[in-house]
Amino acid sequence: MASVKKEKKVATKKVEEKIPAAKPKTYSIRGNILEGKVISAKARKTITVERILTQYIPKYERYKKVKSKLKVHVPQGMEVKEGDKVKIGETRKISKTKNFILMEILK
C-alpha cells in the first residue's frame, strides 16, 4: 500500500502595521549655556563647535587664546551650516563624546 501524505494549507494574512511617527526627544539643559562657531557639520546629527577663550597669565601679564572643540547634538528640524554662530546647552550624556545640544542659531 502506498501512503499518501496530506498537506495542510495554512492561510496567512499580511497585516500592515501602522507605525506612529517618531516623537522628537526632549533634552533638559542642566548645566552651562555656551556660544561658539560651527567648524564642522558633516555628520548627520552632530556638529563640532569651537570656542575661543582668553586666559590671563599673571607671570607675563598677558592674555593667551585657548581653543576648545565640543561635539554637539542637532535635534530634528534644525539646519546648521559651517560658520554659523550657535548657542549650546549642557545636558546628559548623549553618546561617548556628546554632552551638549544645540539650542538656537544666532547668525
Domains of the chain: 33-105 (2.40.50.1000)
pLDDT for the residue numbered 91 = 93
Q: Which residue has the cell 546629527?
A: 45
- Give me the mean pLDDT over the 42-68 stretch: 96
Distance CA 38, CA 70 (A): 10
Cell digits for 77? Answer: 528640524
**Residue 58: helix, strand or coil by DSSP?**
coil
Q: What is the value of pTM for the model shown? A: 0.72
Q: Which tens digit of pLDDT belongs to each residue from 18-41? A: 656 666 677 888 889 999 999 999
